[in-house]
Amino acid sequence: MRKRMITCFLSVLLLAALMLHAQAVEVPYESYTYDAENHEQPAPALYLPDFSAGFGTTEQPAGLTDLFVYDGLLYALDAAQSRLLVLDMRLHLLDELHFTDETGAPLLFSQAQGLFVCEAGIYISDTQRLCVERFDWSGVRQHSYARPDSPAYDSTVPFAVTRVIVDRGLNVYALVDGMYSGAVMLSESGDFLGFFGPNEVEMTVEMLVDQSWKKLLTEEQKNAMDRFVPIAYTSFDIDGENFVYTCSRNAVSESTRVRKLNPSGKGLWDGKNLLFGDYIPQSQWVSGLANVSQLVDVDIADSGILSVLDAARGRVFQYDPNGKLLGVFGGSGKQLGTFEKAAALETYENYLFVLDGKAGDITRFSLTDYGRLMRRAVGLYNSGEYAEAKPVWEKILSRNSYCQPACTGIGKALMQEGASGEALSYLKRGQDREAYSEAFEEYRFTFMRSHFALLLLGAAVLAALIWTAIFIWKKYRKEKTYHLFMLKAPIATLEELLYQKRLSVGFSSGVVVFWFLLEIVKYFATGFPFNRNEAGDFNIFLPLMTTCVIYLLFVIVNWSVSCLTDGRGTFKQIYCASAYVLLPYLLTQLLVLLLSQMFTLEEKPFLTMISLAGYVWSGALLLIVITRVHDFSIGKACVNLLLTAVGIGIVFFLLFLLVVLFEQVANLIITIFNELTLRA
């Protein structure tokens, strides 16, 4: 009886423990990551929320605007009450700092937005007072940084600083609202040093439309239209080596939402196919960009792990030091772990803090076991200890098969072990083209050394087969394949085809169709190191437009231009002869496609040279064809081709305007219909 009671008691305790554990890990959101094709996939949580804390009262609500971790303490800027809160890692209030000027008079900064803390003191960016203030640890102002007195700084832009950071040389970097030239860089004494790391203008369809209209407007009308300016940075952070990490709230391209800038302001991730924030295809955008990630804060930890905050959905994105996604967690709402208005974040050791700007509270997250594994693996990987990191990556991959950094880490470890053939599949899953290229080079060398005799015999057999095929083709198939002699003797062959009236519409159409099919095959089958296309983004309309449509448009426009310039070529002659022009291009592109399976990134210039040879060859052939078909001189043929190019541009411009006009009319009709139905 006693044993039964003890057993029942222990069972109840175990059940209660399990229930408490389930309640502890239950969160109102799902963590996820992205696979190689940018599809959301569920993933274990890197962090789980512990608790949140508010610091206002009923009479004086907290107006927290920024966070900063320094020397094991969390600093929270409360602009509404012009104070700085000093908190421990459990969000217990340790101290409350108010600020004064040099005379001891209190300073108020109700619109302060940015905070930076370092050994030199406390830096606060005040948007309303148009300055950056530096205070000592007792809260007394030491220096005030005002608008630079320099011709390089646009005097019409107020010095409304939203964020501030300081490098190891105590130079101050300030993000100014309305300034699109990058961060304003000031010396410790306040001298203007220039602008740091400006963004480039992101061109959109709307911008192209505006640019087209501007060409038809007066200067006064142009000035009334919107200007094209770079996307301004929303926030930034700096690491111990003076690398600056920036985020942009309204960046359209996923790869430019976050940038890593070296001390000279050059973007180290520019041009790389990285994904920052959520991936949402343009076809799924709501009201333009309403549902696209709006990154408002960025934090770089001592471990090199980058955390980015999305205000649109209240989510936190974490990346490894190479910009590869580790995981996503958080969400919008009022429950623990979600936010009404995510405003700032900071990380420290195993904790991550997120500030909710609307609720005025701070939420602490703690690393999970999966997050600790990820942190350990990333640390070993960055130290070059690939073999030691391999078992950790394998544990991570067993729990999250879509973790690209884990695939890359295992691939690098296999390369270190000499198993480059096995490493290829992992590196491809990890989308690491540089490492894949290195592994493939090693694998190719090993394979060729092991199978040299067999490869030599195969090459000899292939050469014999090609020679035999050419011999048979010349002897028995010359009449039926005479068109291909355009590659060897274009002038004589074209003369013969025109004289005997043997231009084949079927052959020419077949060449164009082959061009179309080749472009589709290239999209999917180009060697992995050279192919950044996503299968899910494929749209058959694009290769169709760039092959068949552009070919027909060239023929139609060239025939129209030739009729006005006394060209002798008929529509059929232009249609057929233009297909022969494509033969060298198609031949070289087919060769490039095959060689892309065997070449590495270092050998890319050879592929470029082959492609360039195809373009030059086809260009020369085009000039010969236009000269002979229309009976033009070389100069007149060049003018004819120039006018054809201009005509194609005009047709595309008119089609583009027609599509935009149709879209505007359709939107107007939909709006009127919605108004009538809603009012009814």
pLDDT at 476: 60
Mode of pairing for the β-strands spanning 93-98 and 192-196: unpaired
Q: Determine if residue 392 is left, alpha or beta; phi over 0 gives left, psi from -120 to 50 gives alpha, anything else beta.
A: alpha
Calculate what percentage of the chain has a pLDDT beyond 90.
50
* Residue 319 binned pLDDT confidence (cut-offs 50, 70, 90): very high
Provide Rg for the chain, Cα atoms.
Answer: 32
CA 650 to chain centre: 32
pLDDT of 459: 83
Among the ranges given (16-30, 31-45, 87-101, 387-401), the one the predictor scored with the smallest mean pLDDT: 16-30
Q: For the residues 199-208, what does the mean pLDDT come to?
A: 53
Please report how the helices 634-679 and 550-564 are oriented relative to each other, as an axis angle in degrees rounded to 10.
Answer: 120
Distance from C-alpha of 483 to C-alpha of 576, rounded to nearest angstrom: 10
Q: How far apart are CA 498 and CA 430, in angstroms?
A: 55
For tokens 């000039």, name the residue.
623
Cα separation values, 556 from 165, 562, 615, 619, Å: 59, 10, 22, 19
Q: What is the pLDDT of residues 516-562, one digit of tens each?
A: 999 999 999 999 999 988 777 788 899 999 999 999 999 999 999 88
Encoded tokens for 65: 């605007």
Segment 60-103, tens digit of pLDDT: 667 899 999 999 999 999 998 889 999 999 999 999 999 998 88
Closest of 680, 679, 580, 678 to residue 629, by C-alpha: 580
Tokens of 205: 């369809």
pLDDT reported for residue 487? 67
Helices 433-450 & 452-476 angle (0-180, nearest 10):
90
How far apart, in whole angstroms, are the C-alpha atoms of residue 316 and residue 328? 6
The mean pLDDT value of the chain amounts to 84
* 398-403 own/partner pairs: CB under 8 Å, 24+ apart: 399/44, 399/370, 400/33, 400/43, 400/44, 400/370, 402/33, 402/34, 402/35, 402/41, 402/43, 403/33, 403/43, 403/326
Which pLDDT does position 98 carry in this prediction?
A: 92
Q: Locate 281 and state its tokens.
A: 């295809």
Which residue in 531, 522, 546, 534 sits closest to 604, CA to CA? 531
Residue 337 has pLDDT above 50, yes or no: yes
Instruction: Of 206-220, 339-353, 487-501, 570-584, give the range with the top mean pLDDT.
Output: 339-353
Average pLDDT over residues 349-376: 93
What letters, b where the CB count within 10 A reaches 16 and e where it falls short, cover 549-566? Answer: eebebbbbbbbebbeeee
Contacts of 2 (CB under 8 A, 6+ apart): none
DSSP state of 106: B
Burial tier of 272 (Cβ tally within 10 Å: 0-12, 13-18, 19+): middle
DSSP, residue by residue, 554-583: HHHHHHHHHHHTT----HHHHHHHHHHHHH
Concatenated DSSP letters of 108-141: --TTEEEEEEETTEEEEEETTTTEEEEE-TTSBE
State how far the Cα of 153 lies from the Cα of 157, in Å rounded to an integer: 8
Question: What single-letter amino acid sits at 145?
Answer: Y
Beta carbons of 244 and 173 less than 8 angstroms apart: yes
Residue 203 has pLDDT above 90, yes or no: no
Instruction: Check residue 320 and give its pLDDT.
Output: 93
32: enclosing H helix or E strand: strand 32-34
pLDDT of residue 57: 64
Nearest one of 191, 192, 204, 194 to 231, comparing CA atoms:
204
In contact, 197 and 244? CB cutoff 8 Å:
yes
Three-class secondary structure of residue 261 per DSSP: strand
* Section 465-479 average pLDDT: 68
Cα angle 466-469-475, degrees, rounded to a multiple of 5: 140
Beta-strand relationship, 161-166 and 172-176:
antiparallel
